[in-house]
Amino acid sequence: MPTVEMECRQVVVIGAGPSGAIAAALLKRKGHDVLVIERQHFPRFSIGESLLAHCLDFVEEAGMLDAVNAAGFQLKTGAAFAWGERYSAFDFGETFSHGKSTTYQVLRADFDKLLADQATLQGVEIRYGETIVDVDIAPGKPQLGVRREDGSEYRVEAGFLLDASGYGRVLPRLLDLEAPSNFPVRQAVFTHVEDRIDLPTFDRSKILVTTHPTLRDVWFWTIPFSNGRCSVGVVAAEERFAGRSDNLDECLRSFIAETPSLASVLQNAQWDTEARTIGGYSANVKTLHGPGFALLGNAAEFLDPVFSSGVTIAMRSASMAAGVLHRQLQGEAVDWQTEFAEPLKRGVDTFRCYVEGWYAGTFQDVIFHEGSSPEIRRMISSILAGYAWDQSNPFVSEARRRLKVISEFCARDAS
């Protein structure tokens, strides 16, 4: 029986996406030995292209902000919402929280590679094209079975594992940690186009979120990039796709044709890229941590793309986990539940409240209400900028109660 290669590393990170690159760089900057194992080769396509302002706090913490600022990505100053003739824009420079006032809209293939390359420049070792095939956490120090592209395999013993595998959800699958999401099954159909948008009212520095004129649970994203192209997608419950073309391009364009305001924005677009789809993406897990491991970002939980919260949650979890793990590796006693899982969940639950309110229509009523006070709009803008952990914001600390009260007021005022 051939001897299996074995090596020992202090920290192994699964996945070189944003959460993996940030976590690895933060730990390396603290002097720890870090290995990242990534199944794909970069650059590679990914969605989640409209960053929130809070993302740049973690990019800065990891020493990568200058590189991101110099990369030529499309500046993003906020978020705009459209429904029929209604239009409401929120600026990240006008928020309740004291955070970043701008961010970027990015081609994730380029952005993710930039972050991974920055981590490498800081001394992080990243192995691309390698797949985790098994994990054993029983001995206390986790062991991973890894398969190279040539079919050869080796094992790694890790002092600690961080799973940043995103939709791949490596440890949840291998350790039977997956749990059902309480969100309805939704599907996204999307593409990139040469947009040729010439409307003087269109703001390329904001993501445009458009609600279908009659189906309020159906919405579209339009994310302009700096190269004259944009990402366009529709999100709807599975049953909304019944009776539509199986051709994804035709399906997407049929939804857009039913939405005059968006059809006008994209009237000159060159549809030159085959559409893709992803469905059933909402996910949850039984636990965010265990003996010798923690789950980051989408590997743990993914809510919905409507407020572009995925990358923010991923980076926030990376920063929090790196901080707790650094202290653990220094010999301190830490409590992953109270220092990582519970505080991370508070922000995720804030986003969850507004995602649920969006599909119920109550948060849409608030967003499109013309009489909202500037202070309320600043509080909402903070959440849209990603500052869902700011407990000084009443719309964070009392999210459900505040949304209920203000949506009822907006409904009465509208009637």
Residues 66 and 127 in one domain: yes
Are 137 and 175 within 8 A, CB to CB? yes
Reported as a single tens digit per residue, the pLDDT across 62-119 is 999 999 999 999 999 999 999 999 999 999 999 999 899 999 999 999 999 999 999 9
93 in a domain, yes or no?
no
Q: What's the pTM?
A: 0.95
**Statement to judge: residues 204 and 144 lie in one domain:** no
Same domain for 21 and 10: yes
**Spatial separation of the C-alpha atoms in residues 396 and 337, rounded to whole Å:** 21
Q: Which residues of 133-153 are buried (b: 16+ CB within 10 A; e: fewer)?
A: eebebeeeebbbbbbeeeeeb
Report if residue 390 sits inside a domain: yes
CB distance 134 to 128 below 8 Å:
no
Residue ending a domain, choose from 279, 303, 318: 279
Q: Has residue 94 been placed in a domain?
A: no
Contact predicate 303/352, CB 8 Å = yes
Residues 52, 117 within the same domain: yes
What pLDDT shows up at residue 284? 82
d(CA 127, CA 322): 20
Q: Is residue 79 included in any domain, yes or no?
A: no
pLDDT reported for residue 281: 66
- Percentage of the chain beyond pLDDT 90 is 86
**What is the count of structural domains for the chain?**
3
Query: pLDDT digit string (tens) for 70-83?
Result: 999 999 999 999 99
Task: Note the pLDDT tens digit of each residue in 340-390.
Answer: 999 999 999 999 999 999 999 999 999 999 888 999 999 999 999 999 999
Q: Is the pLDDT of residue 1 over 60?
A: no
Report pLDDT for 109: 97
375 in the same domain as 317: no
Residue 298 has what pLDDT? Answer: 81
Give phi and psi for 194, each to the nearest 5. Answer: -80, 105
Examine residue 139 and say whether the peptide bond preceding it is cis (omega within 30 degrees of 0).
no
Cα distances (angstroms) measured from residue 200 to each of 102, 156, 197: 21, 56, 9
CATH number for 272? 3.30.9.100
**Residue 272 and residue 343 in one domain:** no
List of residues 6+ apart from 217 with CB closer than 8 A:
236, 237, 240, 359, 361
The domain boundary residue, chosen from 313, 347, 381: 347
Residue 85 included in any domain: no
- For residue 374, what are the domain limits? 360-414
> Would residue 83 count as lying in a domain?
no
Query: Rounded mean pLDDT of the chain?
Result: 94
Asked whether the predicted pLDDT for residue 303 surpasses 80, the reply is no
- If 0-12 CB within 10 Å is exposed, 13-18 middle and 19+ buried, where does residue 231 land? buried
Which tens digits make up the pLDDT trace of 398-408?
999 999 999 98
Pick from 200, 208, 253: which is nearest to 83 by CA? Answer: 208
Separation between Cα atoms, residue 164 and residue 298, nearest integer Å: 7
Domain boundary among 347, 382, 398: 347
Could you report the per-residue pLDDT of 164-209, keeping only the tens digit for each?
998 889 999 999 998 877 778 899 999 999 999 999 999 999 999 9
Q: In this predicted structure, what is the pLDDT of residue 162?
A: 98
Strand partners, 158: 9
In this model, does residue 286 exceed pLDDT 60? yes
Residues 200 and 239 in one domain: yes
Quote the pLDDT of residue 3. Answer: 63
Residues 381 and 333 in one domain: no
Is 400 found in the same domain as 288? no
Contacts of 26 (CB under 8 A, 6+ apart): 61, 62, 318, 319, 322, 323, 326
Calculate mean pLDDT across residues 311-329: 97
Given a cut of 70, whether residue 2 has pLDDT beyond it is: no
Q: Which residues contact 401 (CB under 8 A, 6 or more apart)?
A: none
Question: Do 226 and 265 reside in the same domain of the chain?
Answer: yes
Radius of gyration for the chain, computed over Cα atoms and rounded to the nearest angstrom: 22
Q: Say yes or no: 274 and 288 in one domain.
A: no
Asked, for residue 87, whether it belongs to a domain, the answer is no
In this structure, the answer to whether residues 377 and 400 fall within a common structural domain is yes
Residue 86 lies in a domain: no
